Structure 1
Amino acid sequence: MGHIRRIAVHVDEPDPGHFYWVHMEEGDDASQWVELESADEPYDLWIEALQAGMRALVGYAPDERIGPRAEGEDEDLPPIGIPLGGS
């Protein structure tokens, strides 16, 4: 199983009273975030946009018990930042 994906949801208001949820995922560099998707239509309330974004975020997890996972990783490799030799 791959590592859990770092996906964030936030709400953007490009025009007053028009709220959109946005999903961002951490890129290769921890300081870089890439937009995954956003709402097609605006919501009238910030809280409605946030709740819809959270519901959409759950859709990235094929199993709600383990969350969204990255695919294609070698499970035998050590975690990122730990040298192949151990310590």
Structure 2
Amino acid sequence: MSHLRHLSVWVDQPDPGHFFWVLHESAENASVWVDIESSEQSFPSWTDAFEAGAVALFQLAPDERSGPRAPGEDEDAAPVG
């Protein structure tokens, strides 16, 4: 099975009363995070935006038992060579 993706959800407030969720993913360097998705519409509160962002985060995991996985090699596969 491939490794879990390092994801986070956070809320941005560019203007008073306008909250947007943002999904981040850690790059190879754990100190670097990249925006991968964000809400197109604003929400009236931080809580509303965060909850909607959490839903978007859960949608990145096709199987809720194993979580969001990175594409690539299967970690459980037998070594080659």
TM-score, reference length from structure 1: 0.84
- For the pair shown, which has the larger CA radius of gyration, 1 or 2? 1
Percent sequence identity over matched residues?
53
Aligned residue pairs total: 78
Shift of 1:7: 0.4
Match of 1:49 in 2: 49
Please provide the CA RMSD for this pair.
1.5
What is the SS of the residue equivalent to 2:25? strand
Gaps of 5+ in 1: 79-87
Which residues of structure 2 form unaligned runs of 5+?
A: none
**Change beyond 3 A, Cα 1:58–1:40:** same
Q: TM-score, normalised by structure 2?
A: 0.90
| Cα-to-partner distance string for 1:17-72 (whole Å, 9 max, x where unaligned) | 10000000000111100000100000001100000000010010010011000111
TM superposition shift of 1:77: 8.1
Aligned equivalents of 1:25, 1:51: Cα separation in 2: 18
* Separation in structure 1 between the aligned mates of residue 18 and residue 61 of structure 2, nearest angstrom: 28
**Residue 27 of structure 1 pairs with residue 27 of structure 2:** yes
Q: Which residue of 2 aligns with 1:84?
A: none
